[in-house]
Amino acid sequence: MKINKLLLLVVLAFSGVQSSIAQNCQAIDTHETTGWVLPAGKYCLNVDIKQPELFDSHSMRFKTFSGAGLLSIINGEGEVDQHSARSPRLEIDLRNHTLEARPKNMVGVRDNVQSERVYLHNGSIIVPGTKEPNVGIDLQSLQSPRTAYARSTCARSDSSCGGGSASDGKAPTYRQTEHVVEKVDVRAGWLGVQMVGIGNTIRDSVIEVDSRGAIALFGPGSKIENNTIIVHGKGDPTPEDGAIVLWDGNGAVIRNNRFIFKGWLKKAPPGIRLIDSADVQLEGNTFEGFAVQVEQVGASSHRADR
């Protein structure tokens, strides 16, 4: 009898905890095949989000989505807000659900608001296609340093590094974003994760891409830890290739990651490409199929701790 009472108390206590968690977690709004959240608060995904291919009988072709997000961060009116103030952390718990696009021009999670302190975790993202609109996680907002800086020649390093012209020889001003991506499996065609800002983190995740680059981070103080990064190497090689590419990544830490190249009869890109990124700490990483583990461009330096 005492044991049964004890079990009952445990069950009641657990139910209370579960109820409290449910009350503190707002279900993500979804409409047909997309979802959205606001820039602060805790959100949970309770269903898979899957976008099928849709045929347009008027144009007699499949519809395109031009980089639209399966799950988007928006402001209160659903419009893009380029001047949002620093806010409390936005937590997105995918609860082991999947965001999946069949069209080849969508983004898994897209920031439209210049968000800060996003914590995205516990789920899977599948976005096929080897064109630029296909990104698994894009936390950079529509008007960020990447837009102005990361699409042509980097004047400071006298090298093509995927950036807009930095004609004054200085890095752009980055915001203190402190995003965290944790325990997310990304399968992307073009790019797995892209973030802009100071102090961003990717950890305990699997990032797999069909193309030649898995992670692109802009800004100092990033951490990339305990991930498996798989590159298949499809598409034409470019000077910006790298399984991980850091721009202005001073003081970044890349630790305990496993790099795997699976491109059959293809040349692997560098495992890590540093562009104007100084004092980067490399520790405990392993490389399979990468002839060049680290390539430095411009004012870059790194130290390897064994």
Partners of residue 196 on adjacent β-strands: 218
Percent of all residues in the chain with a pLDDT value above 70, rounded to a whole number: 74
pLDDT (tens digit per residue) in 261-282: 998 878 999 999 999 999 999 9
Query: What residue has token string 């005492």?
Result: 2
Report the pLDDT value the prediction gives residue 158, as an integer from 0 to 100: 43
* Highest mean pLDDT pick, 101-115, 144-158, 207-221, 236-250: 207-221
In a domain, 250, yes or no: yes
Report which of residues 65 and 231 the model is more confident about: 231
Q: Which domain holds residue 230?
A: 28-305
In a domain, 16, yes or no: no
Please name the amino acid found at residue 190.
W
Please name the amino acid found at residue 102.
R
pLDDT at 198 over 60: yes
CB contact burial 180-211 (16+ within 10 A = b; e otherwise): bbbebbbbbbbbbbbbbbbbbbbbebbbbbbb
In a domain, 6, yes or no: no
In a domain, 166, yes or no: yes
CB contact burial 100-121 (16+ within 10 A = b; e otherwise): bbbbbbbbbbbbbbbbbbbbbb
Overall number of domains in the chain: 1
In a domain, 72, yes or no: yes
Q: Give the strand pairing for 201-203 and 159-163.
A: unpaired
In a domain, 196, yes or no: yes
pLDDT at 118 over 50: yes
In a domain, 61, yes or no: yes
In a domain, 146, yes or no: yes
Length of the chain: 306
* CA pair distance 217, 212, nearest whole angstrom: 15
pLDDT at 166 over 50: no
